[in-house]
Every structure is written in structure tokens, then in C-alpha cells.
Amino acid sequence: MNQALQDVIEHRRTTNVFEPNHTISDEQIEHLVHLATRAPTSFNLQNWRFLAVRTPERKAKLRKLAYDQAKVSEAAVTFIVCGQLADYSALEWRLAPSADAGFMNLVDWTRRMSPASESTPASSTPTARHPLSGGAPA
């Protein structure tokens, strides 16, 4: 990946004109996704997924859904960024690194967010731990 493109991404500029016959490699696409995932998210949940649309046929279908924007079909790859809601049962595991670092009280947070919060005993403690914090997910 050339430094000019990386600078554009890191400085949050937009590009609207593309060379329709330009192609990029799988490695470049992976690098672009890596750069995109450097953006912060709440509690570092990283709750997004990226779809790379590369074929002319699929970009043409997508262009129809994107108000006929030429850049959708002219770019070498068009990304669809999908937000993914965290499954409630996985939140404790995903938030454990923040709790372990002292940024939040996970016991109080999960009790407050739990649909069954009235029945959660006060002495309950989370047992799930993120793999990077030394434990295994529940």
C-alpha cells in the first residue's frame, strides 16, 4: 500500500473519482480493512464487519441501491460496513478487558443491563474472561 493512500485514510479525506479499470490485490484490501479497524469503538467492542464488493455485476446491483452513485461501480472495491449488535450473552466476555483494566465495574454493569436484573443475586460475580486477559470465554 502506498503511503499517499494511507495518509488519505488516516487524515479522513474522501475520494469521489476513481479509475474504473484500476484493480487492487487481496493483500491491499486486507490492509485497508486493517486501517479501518483502527477507529475506536465504544468499549472497544469492534462491532463491525466489512464486505468487499469487487465484481462488476455485484457493484452494479449495489449502485442501484446507492442512489446510482458512479463511485460505487467505478472504485476498484466498494466496502459495505455492517454494524453488528453484540449478543447480550457475549457482552460480559467482550467487556472483561475493560473491567480487568479498572475502567468499569463489570458486575454492576452487567446487573444493570441484564433483563433479569431483579433476580440477579448481589453476590454474583462474572466468570467469563477475555482470552487476552488470561481466561477463556464462557
Closest CA to 101 of 75, 129, 125, 81: 129
| pLDDT tens digits for range 3-25 | 887 887 788 767 788 888 899 99
Whether the pLDDT of residue 128 is over 80: the answer is no
111 compared with 128, residue with greater pLDDT: 111
pTM for the structure as a whole: 0.58
pLDDT at 117: 46
pLDDT band at 126, cuts 50/70/90? very low
Domains, in order of start, for the chain: 3-83 (3.40.109.10), 88-133 (no CATH)
| pLDDT tens digits for range 45-86 | 778 889 999 999 999 999 999 999 999 999 999 999 998 876
